[in-house]
Amino acid sequence: MTVRWGVLGAGWIVQTATAQALRGAPNAHLAAVASRDTERARALQPERVHASYSNLIEDDDIDAVYIALANDQHGPWIHEAISAGKHVLCEKPLTMDPATTRELFRAADDAGVLLVEAAWSMWHPRMRRIVELVTSGLVGDVEEFLGTFTFEGVPDGNYRLDPARGGGALLDIGVYPLHALVGCLPDLIDPHIDVERTLGGLGVDLTTRARMTFDQGTRASVVASFAMPESQRLLIRGSEARIQVPDEQAFTSWQIPTSLLVGDHEESFPATDAYRDMFGAVSSRILGGSDWVLSPEASVRVADLVESLR
């Protein structure tokens, strides 16, 4: 069996990574793309091109919808897709606020469809190993977590600089280290928070530095920035061992071999496409399989953290 996917949007991420990943995923088929730029949609070589998102969602030959639109459009189109009985995989951040996130997961549950946030880095084998090491207790009690995702150069006019469109570094890229934090420490809640923010654009955070202290004694630091040199770091220090990503692509490693330092030992991982792994896993779940997918609880917890930090 194969899941027939429709894609909303034909922007940069679809053109460079996710359309190819979808075509290469097991049990997945790229059936249709909807875009205002129909020529760009045709370049992705789907069976059908729709000139409107609504037409794709109403297409009876579509089982699941992948949403790759600007952040402010996620919530409304998730709602439309669920209402049409489609399964949904939506780019992160799933929505712009935790109330909407909870509402949409309830709607998906009521409709009997799957809703998953496409925080693709969580499907990477290295990240799955990090989560396994921490949640199994092999590193001991987690004392310190550090996650950074920073880069320079968001162009003027880009939606990431517009608060009305879901802009800001924390909401757009800070969710990557926050998903890693929640994946590793799913039971930690209600931290004491200290935040420093630098504003720009139309009032969005160009940089957010957050320090969180949990009752169990764990300290977590997260940095997200559109105005700092490129850096993707991930470090977890436990009472028994320390885990560190040795490269500067902790969250966006794509089709290259990677490694992980666990104490004095180095673990290696072959090149993979975590986008493909994500589409394959979600397709399998839609077909009744048991593949791991990001849980609603994780997405809600990240949404709550973002709201608290903002």
Q: Which residue type occupies 133?
A: L
Q: For residue 1, give the DSSP letter.
A: -
- Which 3 state secondary structure label does DSSP give 51? coil
Q: Which residues have a Cβ under 8 Å from the Cβ of 68 and sit 6 or more positions away?
A: 7, 8, 9, 11, 13, 14, 18, 91
What are residue 268's phi and psi, to 5 degrees?
-120, 150
Residue 216 has pLDDT above 90, yes or no: no
Angle (CA) 271-293-192 rounded to 5° is 100
For the residues 116-128, what does the mean pLDDT come to?
Answer: 98
Distance CA 281, CA 279 (A): 6
Calculate what percentage of the chain has a pLDDT beyond 70: 100
Residue 237 has pLDDT above 90, yes or no: yes
| List 50, 74, 86, 92, catalytic entry | 92
pLDDT value of position 215:
82
Distance CA 206, CA 162 (A): 11
Q: For strand 219-225 and strand 242-244, is the pairing parallel, antiparallel, or unpaired?
A: unpaired
CA distances from 9 to 30, 50, 54, 207, 240 (A): 13, 10, 12, 28, 46
Cβ burial, residue 141 (10 Å; 0-12/13-18/19+): exposed
pLDDT value of position 189:
83
Confidence of residue 19 (pLDDT cuts 50, 70, 90): very high
86 carries an active-site annotation: no
The whole-angstrom distance between residue 185's C-alpha and the CA centroid of its chain comes to: 17
pLDDT value of position 72:
96
Q: Which domains does the chain have, with CATH numbers?
A: 3-121 (3.40.50.720), 125-271 (3.30.360.10)
DSSP assignment of 175-192 equals HHHHHHHHHH-TT----E
For the residues 72-96, what does the mean pLDDT come to?
Answer: 98
